[in-house]
Amino acid sequence: MRIVVLGAGGLGSLIGGYLARSGVDVTLIGRAPHVEAIRERGLEITGIRGSSVIFDNLTAVTSPDDARGEFDYLMLTVKSKDTDTALGQAEALRTRSATVFSLQNGVDHDEKLARWAGADKVIGASTIEGGTLGAPGAVVNTLSTPTTAYFGELDGRITERVRRITEAFNHAGLPSRAVENVVQVEWEKLIQIALASGFSVTALAAIPEMRIGDGLVVREGAEFYVQLAKELLSVYRAMGYRPQNFYAPASRLKELDELPFADAVEAAMEQGRRFKADAGRGRTSMHNDILQRRKTEVDFIFKPILERGHALKIAIPTVEAVHRIIKTLDSNL
Ligand SMILES: NC(=O)c1ccc[n+]([C@@H]2O[C@H](COP(=O)([O-])OP(=O)(O)OC[C@H]3O[C@@H](n4cnc5c(N)ncnc54)[C@H](OP(=O)(O)O)[C@@H]3O)[C@@H](O)[C@H]2O)c1
């Protein structure tokens, strides 16, 4: 199997690296310092799944024009704000990639990929696996859940190409599932990311040392978190979905949905105490983007939910306020 990764940063390098280690022929397309470091010293992966340096089966290039041959899959992992530019520069890969999928946060990438490559080439995919580019050539695996990724056809079928990529992830030590409801998985992940990012940035980012656990152990912080969760989930429910906790135990949307407000606040405070005991957990990438003065994915994460909420005439004032606050910060970056 041959896979090309368009946008080899934290997530793309991590997944691409694990796949290469398991025998998949992987081409990473990334920025020059990262590509040069991989060519010189290999790709170093550290973090929760242990340490390894990967040389074999791994090619790193800075331009899609330098990615040679035919690919079974193209995996898109640039930040959502860079999707149009990256696809625009990847004309050389459009006809040489049999199947394309995105692991980005957001829900509009399948449509963008369909416009770029043709709808028949796109499959749905989702992951919450955490990867951060610590230094050129070095990626840290920061978060994992029992199911790493989900794949499926956008019309609900499970086809051979869906099974093959799922098996490749499983073989690489990334437990994954082929599912008939991948669009629901993508939306539920969006709700989960909007909750964690919205809370993290608006409640915590003013004090750089604060992490999610520090906010959730404060009653008012937990109340804000639950209010935001319930509004986000009201949109998700109105779309006809019920929370499934696809990324349990990181996801506790089911409990936040089912428990009455006061009980959900107690549960969120308990979760905060657990997060504080587990010092590794606690900041979203949007929060890190703000702290590092980088543009965020705010529109890609909040706009689809706001648009659905408004179309379905659901009152979501807390979601609107969170979006406005983050937009204000983001516009000054
Ligand atoms: N990281 C995670 O843990 C994680 C987990 C689940 C989902 N996601 C989602 O996955 C996506 C990627 O996240 P990430 O954290 O991996 O971001 P990232 O570390 O910024 O990686 C993206 C990489 O692509 C590079 N890039 C941008 N445009 C490019 C182009 N035209 N050609 C080649 N390379 C290009 C970026 O370089 P520059 O920085 O120089 O632009 C960066 O190195 C986001 O949508 C994120 O929300 C991330």
What tens digit of pLDDT does each residue of 167-200 get? 999 999 999 999 999 999 999 999 999 999 999 9
Answer whether residue 282 shows pLDDT above 70: yes
CA of residue 238 to ligand 1 center, whole Å? 31
CA of residue 10 to ligand 1 center, whole Å? 6
Query: In the block, which residue shows the tokens 């657990």?
Result: 274
Sheet of strand 25-29, all strands in order from the earlier edge strand to the far edge: 58-61, 25-29, 2-6, 71-76, 97-102
Residue nearest to atom 38 of ligand 1 (CA): 31
**What does the alpha-carbon distance between residue 333 and residue 321 come to, in Å, rounded to a whole number?**
19
pLDDT digits (tens, 9 = 90+) for 219-262: 999 999 999 999 999 999 999 999 999 999 889 999 999 999 99
Average pLDDT, the chain: 96
Which amino acid appears at position 245 of this protein?
N
Cα four-point dihedral sign 9, 15, 19, 25: negative
Tokens of 328: 């204000």
Residue 315: per-residue pLDDT: 97
Ligand 1 pocket, residue 295 CB under 6 Å: no
Residue 285: per-residue pLDDT: 87
Residue nearest to atom 3 of ligand 1 (CA): 130
Q: What are the extents of the domains in the chain?
A: 2-180, 185-331
Answer whether residue 85 shows pLDDT above 60: yes
Task: Evaluate whether 190 touches 249 at the Cβ level (below 8 Å).
Answer: no
Residue 284: per-residue pLDDT: 87
Residue 243: per-residue pLDDT: 98
Residue 279: per-residue pLDDT: 67
Q: How far is CA 52 from CA 10, 59, 323, in A?
A: 15, 17, 39
Answer whether residue 313 shows pLDDT above 90: yes
CATH of 185-331, one of 1.10.1040.10, 1.10.1740.10, 1.25.40.20, 1.20.58.740: 1.10.1040.10
**What does the alpha-carbon distance between residue 147 and residue 248 come to, in Å, rounded to a whole number?**
8
Task: Give the pLDDT mean for 193-215.
Answer: 94
Task: Evaluate whether 325 touches 228 at the Cβ level (below 8 Å).
Answer: no
Tokens of 237: 């429910």
Q: How far is CA 268 from CA 17, 137, 251, 258, in A?
A: 35, 37, 12, 13
Find the radius of gyration of the CA atoms of the chain. Answer: 19
Ligand 1 pocket, residue 27 CB under 6 Å: no
pLDDT digits (tens, 9 = 90+) for 44-73: 999 999 999 999 999 999 999 999 999 999
Q: How far is CA 327 from CA 70, 162, 192, in A?
A: 41, 37, 19
Ligand 1 pocket, residue 11 CB under 6 Å: yes
**What does the alpha-carbon distance between residue 328 and residue 330 come to, in Å, rounded to a whole number?**
6
Tokens of 260: 């009455």
CA of residue 75 to ligand 1 center, whole Å? 12
Answer whether residue 82 shows pLDDT above 90: yes
- Burial code (b: 16+ CB inside 10 Å, e: under 16) for 233-272 equals bbbbeeeebebebbbeebbbbebbbebeeeebbebbbebb
Ligand 1 pocket, residue 127 CB under 6 Å: yes
Q: Are 2-180 and 185-331 in the same CATH fold?
A: no
pTM score of the predicted model: 0.95
**CATH, domain range 2-180:** 3.40.50.720
Does residue 313 come out as left (phi exceeding 0), alpha (psi in the -120 to 50 range) or beta?
Answer: left
Answer whether residue 280 shows pLDDT above 90: no
CA of residue 81 to ligand 1 center, whole Å? 10
Ligand 1 pocket, residue 105 CB under 6 Å: yes
Pairing of strands 71-76, 2-6: parallel
Task: Give the pLDDT mean for 141-157.
Answer: 95
Residue 283: per-residue pLDDT: 81
Residue 76: per-residue pLDDT: 98
**What does the alpha-carbon distance between residue 77 and residue 287 come to, in Å, rounded to a whole number?**
19
Residue 281: per-residue pLDDT: 58
